[in-house]
Each structure stands twice: as C-alpha cells, then as structure tokens.
Amino acid sequence: MSQLTFLDLRYNSLNGTIPSSLFAPPSLVLIGWSNNKLQGPIPRLVYQLQNLTYLPLSSNNLSGVVDLDKLLKLKNLIYLDLSYNGLSLSINNIVNSTLPNLEYISLASCSLSEFPNFLREQARLRSLDLSNNKIHGEVPKWIFDVGKNTLEGLNLSHNFLTSLERLPWKNLAYIGLHSNLLQGPLPIPPNTTNVFSISDNKLTGEIPALICNLSYLLVLDLSNNSLSGSIPQCLGNLSNSLSVLNLGINRFRGTFTVTFTKGNMLRNLNLNGNQIEGQVPRSLLNCRRLEVLDLGKNKINDTFPHWLETLRNLQVLVLKFNRFHGHIGTFKTKGKHPFPKLRIIDMSYNDFSGLLPTNYIKQFEAMMNVDEHEMKLKYMGEPYYQDSVVVVVVVMKGLEIEYSRILTVFSIIDLSSNNFQGEILKSIEKLNSLRGLNLSHNNLTGHIPTSLRNLKNLESLDLSSNKLVGEIPQQLTNLMFLEVLNLSVNQVVGPIPQGR
C-alpha cells in the first residue's frame, strides 16, 4: 500500500509486536496504535516517515529505547504521544532540536528525570503532558515561554517538583500540578482556567481572593496541602460554573460562610480534615445538583441538618468527627422520600442521641433492590470529572479505606461512636443492597434482629460495644458475602452459629 496515508487502529485489543512492514509506506501521515495490548519495540522505520504528522502510541506495553533526537527530525510532526508504556527515551539535551509544527506532546510515564531541552523552542504548543515521571526540583524559568500564547493544557502531576513561582500562560484551560512537592503560596492561574488541580503538595498561606476571578472554573482541587486562614467567601461567586470544590485536609479555620447562589452547578463539596466551626451553611439548599458533601473531621457544632433531605441528587453525606448533637428525629419533607439517592452516610464520632433514625433509614431508596448488573461499571463523578475526584474515606471491614473511585452500587451506613439508644429495628432489612453497616460504640439494647439475614450483599457488620443480649441469630449464616463480623463487648450468649 504505497499510497497509504492514514492508518488508525486505536482502542482495540491488538497484541504482539508491531510489524515493521506497517511503517513502510513512505506517504504515512498518521499511524495510531494507542490503547491496545502491543509489546516490544517501536520499529525503527518510524524515523524515516518524513510526512508523519500524528503518532499516538500511548497505553500499550511497548518497551525499548526511543531515540527522541531522531523523532525530532520529523519536521511535520504535530501530535506525539508515547505515554503509559514501558519505553525509555534517549534524549541529548545539548542538541537544540525543534519541531516547528508540534502542538501536542505527551511523554507521561516515560521515566524522564528532567524537562526535555527541545521544548524551549515550541512556540506553538497547545498541550504538554509530562506527568508520572521522575522530574525533581524547581520548574525552570524557560518553561514559561513554551507555548506562551497557545498552551491550553499543562499536566506536570506525579513528579517531584518543589517550586513553581507563577502560571503566566494566557490561555490555559487544564492545569494538573497535583502529587508533587510544591512549596510556598498558591499560584494563581489565568482567568481561562477550567480545571485547577494542585492537591497533594506542601503549599502554605491563605487562598488569595484573586482566585475568585476565575469565572470559567469547573474544578478547584486544593486538597492535601497546608493552606490556612479562612475560606474566602467570594468562592460563592464561582458556583455558577464550579462543579467540584475540594479544600479537604488543610488548616482552614473559622466558619464556612460561602454563599452558594440559586441555580449553581456544584456537585462535589469536600471540606474534610480542617478546623471549620459553626453550623452547616443553609445556602447548600441552593445546590440542587450536589452529589457529594463531605464535612468530616472538623469542629462543626450543629444539630442534624435535616433540610439536606431535599437535595434529590445527594449520594454521599459525611459528617463524621464533628460536634453534631441531639436527636435526629423524623424527616420533614411530606409526600417525598428523603435522600432518594443517598448511598453512603457516615455520621460516626459525634454526639447524636435518641433512637436510631429508622424513619430515615427505611426510606433510603438507593440502598434497596439495586440492579447491580446494570450499574456495576458506573462510577460516581464520571459525567463531570474523570480524575479521581470522588474521594471518600470510610471505615470498612475494620479498616480505614480511601475510595478514590466509587461504584454507584457501593452503599455504607456508619452511625458508630454516638449515643444512640433503643433497639435495632426490623425495618433495616429493606436495605438489601447495603455493603457495610456499622452501629458500634453506642448504647443499643435488645436482641440482634433476625431480619439482618435479608442484607444479602453485606460484607461488613459491626455491632460491637453496645448492650445487645440474647443469642447470635442462626440466620446470619445466610450472609454469603460477609467477611467481617464484630459483635464483641456485648452481652450475647449461647452457641456460635454453624453452617454455610
């Protein structure tokens, strides 16, 4: 096929090595092999394809050495993606080679230890991905001139970078700087930014009010840093565009006074692991699209925010390790089920009292009769952000586990370490899609209900440190997926159930 110009075999399950003959047609403009299961080296004939403009080879099992200096002689190259293979790059950083037409380059997971020198001359670059490498130290100042007026995507995440003094690019939309060692104050991105992810670093200081000028921002993830001070109230001005606001695991203080406007787009709010005080802000009622609300590990002093039950899309509610108190009572919304989509609720380590909120629990529709075959491949957050944004830490099977991606069939109730009283009522049997149930460290009395046998998907059941009496029901042997059962520190008697 001497006239072949376009060969695209991406997103298949092709395996084996790439035949050299497929690189033979000298007229090739595009040859795409990404997202397959290919092994072995890239045929050397690729260096002779002078007309080549697109070379996507990412996400395979390719190995061997790629001579980047020879690739740089393909002057028509626009798109180069060698990411996520087992390739190592041979780069002569002394040679000032350049690709005058290059717009997209991705060298993620290519074992780079420094910024490639050829980037210095890439004035037209639109996307640069050097993530998941071994680049240490400061970001060199010359990088600020790379694609100065054209760069739209910058991903330097998962390296060992220590300093980035500014973000001078005028047209950036995606900025991925998470999982580095960046220190100092928070750099302010340009007003064109849609996604700003700089979590898992060592940033200090307060959030500058200038960040509230980012009117196109969809995702703001500043979690896992050492940022301090109060959370700027003006962040509410971003809620018409913002889908994700993650400020978790920092050192923010004071009350959370951000006012969310009606009709806002917020889906995920995470303030976990700070020192926020006061009450849950009522303006959350305006967040009709909210799916994840994580206020855990703060100093919030409030009663149960029953008014959240009107948020019809809420799937995850975490209030653990705060100062919530009082009776939860019954739901207030007449004629409608409260929390119709709630799948994970964690109110552990508070001071709730009174009877278990059975009137709520028996109405949790999303924990009943879930069609797992239909939903097993669906993850929360996929429609609006792919990059592990739905991060929730729960106690499951006796261990504290961080879930960075949550299947929509994953359901947990954790009401442990409170002052709940009374019996475990039979109505809990309706939640037959539940995976984890933790009612430990309360003042629950009565027998272990035989109706627990209907929780067919239960993997973890913790009723320890209560005042339960009687025998362990033989019916619990019906729980075929149960891996952890903790009934310690109660007053149960009789034989341990056998069978199954």
- What pLDDT, on a 0 to 100 scale, did the predictor assign at position 332? 60
3-state SS, one letter per residue, for 267-297: CEEECCCCEEECCCCHHHHHCCCCCEEECCC
- What pLDDT, on a 0 to 100 scale, did the predictor assign at position 151? 96
pTM listed for this prediction: 0.91
Residues 6+ apart with CB under 8 A from 76: 50, 51, 52, 53, 101
Whether 186 contacts 227, CB under 8 Å: yes
Which element (helix H / strand E) includes 68?
Answer: helix 68-71
Domain 305-500 has CATH 3.80.10.10: yes
For residue 352, report the phi and psi dihedrals to the nearest 5 degrees: -65, 145
The full DSSP string for 408-461 is TT--EEE--SSEEEE---GGGGG-TT-SEEE--SSEEEEEPPGGGGG-TT--EE
| Residue-level pLDDT, tens digit, the chain, 500 residues | 888 999 999 999 999 999 888 888 889 999 999 999 999 999 999 999 999 999 999 999 999 999 888 888 899 999 999 999 999 888 876 556 667 889 999 999 999 999 998 888 888 899 999 999 999 999 999 999 999 899 999 999 999 999 998 999 999 999 999 999 999 999 999 999 999 999 999 999 999 999 999 989 999 999 999 999 999 999 988 878 999 999 999 999 999 989 998 989 999 999 999 999 999 999 999 999 999 999 999 999 999 999 999 999 999 999 999 999 999 976 665 657 788 899 999 999 999 999 998 888 888 888 887 665 555 556 666 555 554 455 677 777 777 777 666 666 678 999 999 999 999 988 888 898 899 999 999 999 999 999 999 999 999 999 999 999 999 999 999 999 999 999 999 999 999 998 77
Torsion sign, CA atoms 496, 497, 499, 500 = negative
Which 3 state secondary structure label does DSSP give 47?
Answer: helix
Where, residue-wise, is CATH 3.80.10.10 in the chain?
1-171, 173-290, 305-500
- What pLDDT, on a 0 to 100 scale, did the predictor assign at position 70? 86
CA distance 119 to 129: 12
CA distance 244 to 381: 10
Domain 173-290 has CATH 3.80.10.10: yes
Using alpha carbons only, give the angle 426, 432, 433 rounded to the nearest 5 degrees: 145
Give strand pairing partners of 293.
269, 317
Which element (helix H / strand E) includes 138?
Answer: strand 136-138
- The closest alpha carbon to 224, from 290, 279, 157, 164, belongs to 157
Q: What's the CATH architecture for 1-171?
A: Alpha-Beta Horseshoe (3.80)
Decide: residue 86, CB within 10 A, 0-12 exposed, 13-18 middle, 19+ buried. middle
